[in-house]
Amino acid sequence: MIDRSLMHLLIAVSLLISVASSHASQPSAEQLAQRIDQTVAEVMASYAVPGVAIAVVEGQQVVFANTYGVQEHGLPAPVTANTLFKIASVSKNFTSAALALLIDEGKLSWDDRVIDHLPEFRTSDPWITAEFRVRDLLIHSSGLNLGAGDLMFWPTPNDFTREDILKGLRYLPMDRGFRSRYAYDNILYVLAGELTERVAGMAWEDFVEQRLLQPLGMTACFAGIVPEAQRSLLAQPHGDIDGVPTVVRRDFADQRIPSVAAGGMRCSQSAMIEWMKMQLAQGRYSDDEGNQQTLISSKNHAEMWKPQTLTPVGSQAKQWNNTLFGAYGYGWRINDVDGLLLIHHTGTLHGMNAYLAFLPQRNVGFLVLLNKSNSDARTALIQTLIKSYTSSEQQDWVAQTKAWRAQQNQRRAERFTEPTTQAVDPALIAPLLGYYRDPWFGDISIEQHQQSLRLRSHRSARIAGELFHVSGTTYVVRWDDRTHEADAYVRFTTSMNGAIEGMLIEKIDPAADFSFNFEDLRLRKL
């Protein structure tokens, strides 16, 4: 957790440098619509995105809201204002808002010890367990590794429950130092949802829907199961298979999601517009009679938007947005763009992308919803929206994003080489066969199928693939599900006399999705 004086300094710097960008005027409605429509058309053509929803809200006025394309590639149902998208990690700011509401009611404090409300809470370090505060669940500086425990959430389907996730935390390494530096995680947001349940006395999904969504009239937004009558409104998640946008795993929305507090809500453009209005009003909203009501106190709303953990600033942000600092609050990322404060969060799930952002000094908010996994498509749309309010110079952000990606691909090719593999020698197979157990992920088996060697998780069905030999006791597993894009090295560990004792797994490509956190597995042969 960063020093309070540093937090205030960061905000002061952002406010001061905003003077330098004061010449950037807000666009007219016509200019904005033209820019967005043009960029969306380019994005959908360039990245084969089936459906898009965009909204821009200034204060309490919707200055732009449009939808494009279809809910599912190849089918006629259009994306509408009530189409339900998975908003992924944008769900995190609903989790922090639920806690803020309980704090406003005096039932909780940001500085309460977690174990006082969730007695089963345990980390691998007893001292950290005792000192862990509610705020530590939200700010990504716990000491856990990047994406720690994510294999209990994704890929789905798997059979991990929230109880498993709570129990599994104690076995995850705390390698980065408590409150010392940033490392994004999902598991602690799941546990923040569990803590909310204990304090509120009702399921997290019910609390969010009854206490946050209903007062705002967010009828087309769901933390839990989507009612059957509205499932025809679901945008289906897409990826590219042989160059064609294809549903990667159909969303039926008929079951509760254990990881919902970290990234499982489904919301529409129309509902998220109401969320945006409340955020811009610093926690207030108008009821059905037009009376002003408080959902979250201005004090706790400000607390959620306050820097808590410093985050790195990438070269892209520096080059494109003149970004000087990065931080994380409670369910929100905090940066500066062209001298203006930006409060925002991305959402990324298999087949879905989302983005929600605010420029408080311009009193404006932005929403992007896509039913396809493509961060470049999202980036081009984000830049078009934000730069319309921060810069007088307009650029073709689809072209800019393509050029940036080409540079990144070239750099990756220069430093990354696929390992050379060969079929497994049948003479090497027998000692490797059997069951291997990790205390939080459970059992993985190495099995022989004819002349091939296969790896299979017993709790996560889509973690399965064929092994190929590299050298010595090092192998490569190539996953049957090629949408993972996270093939991995598998190294079998041995005792002093050469007997197989365990297994270590590590992604081949360091840039692969961090949620495949194989590196935290400590598999011992049974």
What 3 state SS string does 250-312 have?
CCCCCCCCCCHHHHCCEECHHHHHHHHHHHHCCCEEECCCCCEEECCCHHHHHHHCCCCEECC
Nearest to 404 by CA among 376, 382, 444: 376
pLDDT the model gives residue 35:
96
User: Helices 397-415 & 29-47, crossing angle to 10 degrees?
Assistant: 40
Q: How far apart are CA 53 and CA 68, in angstroms?
A: 6
User: Helices 187-200 & 92-104, crossing angle to 10 degrees?
Assistant: 30
SS3 248: coil
Higher pLDDT among residues 11 and 526, named by residue: 526
The first and second tokens of residue 319, run together, are: 């080059």
pLDDT the model gives residue 11:
52
What is the per-residue pLDDT across 234-273, written as a single tens digit (0 to 9) for each? 999 999 988 899 999 899 999 999 999 999 999 999 999 9
The first and second tokens of residue 55, run together, are: 């909204």
pLDDT the model gives residue 10:
52
The 8-class DSSP code of residue 70 comes to B
Q: How far apart are CA 430 and CA 125, in angstroms?
A: 38
| Cβ atoms 1, 142 nearer than 8 A | no
The first and second tokens of residue 172, run together, are: 């995850």
pLDDT the model gives residue 158:
94
Confidence of residue 24 (pLDDT cuts 50, 70, 90): low
Q: How far apart are CA 349 and CA 71, in angstroms?
A: 16
The 8-class DSSP code of residue 93 comes to H
What is the per-residue pLDDT across 394-403, written as a single tens digit (0 to 9) for each? 899 999 999 9
pTM for the full model? 0.94
Confidence of residue 22 (pLDDT cuts 50, 70, 90): very low
Percent of the chain with pLDDT over 70: 95
Higher pLDDT among residues 154 and 490, named by residue: 490
pLDDT the model gives residue 242:
83
Average pLDDT along the chain:
94
CATH number assigned to the domain with residue range 426-525, chosen from the 4 options 2.60.40.1120, 3.40.50.300, 3.10.310.10, 2.40.128.600: 2.40.128.600
Is the pLDDT assigned to residue 156 strictly greater than 60?
yes
Is the pLDDT assigned to residue 377 strictly greater than 90?
yes
Ranges of beta strands (E only) in 166-243 are 221-222, 238-241
What is the per-residue pLDDT across 28-50, written as a single tens digit (0 to 9) for each? 999 999 999 999 999 999 999 99
Q: Range(s) for CATH 2.40.128.600 in the chain?
A: 426-525
**CATH class belonging to 4-102+198-412:** alpha beta
What is the per-residue pLDDT across 174-187, written as a single tens digit (0 to 9) for each? 989 999 999 999 99
The first and second tokens of residue 434, run together, are: 């059997």
* CA dihedral sign of residues 183, 189, 194, 196: positive
What is the per-residue pLDDT across 71-93, written as a single tens digit (0 to 9) for each? 999 999 999 999 999 999 999 99
Which residue has tokens 């490392």?
A: 183
What is the per-residue pLDDT across 293-352, written as a single tens digit (0 to 9) for each? 999 999 999 999 999 999 999 999 999 999 999 999 999 999 999 999 999 999 999 999
What is the per-residue pLDDT across 213-245, written as a single tens digit (0 to 9) for each? 999 999 999 999 999 999 999 999 999 988 899
Percent of the chain with pLDDT over 90: 89
Confidence of residue 20 (pLDDT cuts 50, 70, 90): very low
Q: Range(s) for CATH 3.40.710.10 in the chain?
A: 4-102+198-412
pLDDT the model gives residue 3:
52
Is the pLDDT assigned to residue 8 strictly greater than 90?
no
Q: Side-chain half-sphere of 523: how many Cα atoms within 13 Å?
A: 28
User: Helices 375-390 & 397-415, crossing angle to 10 degrees?
Assistant: 130
| Cβ atoms 190, 198 nearer than 8 A | no
Residue 4 CB partners (closer than 8 Å, separation 6+): none
pLDDT the model gives residue 2:
45
Helix (H) or strand (E) holding 150: none
